[in-house]
Amino acid sequence: DAGVIQSPRHEVTEMGQEVTLRCKPISGHDYLFWYRQTMMRGLELLIYFNNNVPIDDSGMPEDRFSAKMPNASFSTLKIQPSEPRDSAVYFCASSFAGGHGNEQFFGPGTRLTVL
């Protein structure tokens, strides 16, 4: 298993542009999480899904951020319009309810730079 897959690995865009980040969770996992990592705030949970349904989106910073999970093997995080302060590393993680102690498996992350 390749683990959690994220694309692209790096994204450089200009302010005002739409950005779409993609994630493929580990097969069989029923939870999917989107995190944002910055030096100042560490790792912040943005939103998570259970069985493709959004459960908690209280961490989504603004209406410019949206996330979808159309099926069990794919999720997107979209930022429209993007701003320089959105520059960060975005991680996707997955887990399954039957696992030990709620261990989460992380993807490699997408490094987003908004100019």
The CB-of-65 to another protein minimum distance in angstroms stands at: 18
Among positions 68, 78, 106, 113, the unique one binding another protein when judged by CB under 8 A: 106
Of the two residues 97 and 115, which places its CB atom closer to another protein in the complex?
97
Q: Look up residue 93 and give its two tokens.
A: 């993680």
| Rounded CA separation 43/30 (Å) | 21
Is residue 3 within the footprint of another protein (CB under 8 A)? Answer: yes
What letter represents residue 21's amino acid?
L
Report, in Å, the least distance between residue 57 CB and another protein: 12
Site size with another protein, rule: CB under 8 A: 27
Q: Shortest approach of another protein to residue 18 CB, angstroms? A: 27
At residue 101, φ and ψ (nearest 5 deg) are 55, 30
Buried b (16+ CB within 10 A) or exposed e, 4-15: bebeeeebebee
Q: What CA–CA distance (Å, rounded) separates 11 from 87?
A: 10
| Residue ranges that bind another protein, judged by CB under 8 A | 3, 31, 33, 35, 41-45, 48, 50, 55-56, 91, 93, 95, 97, 100-109
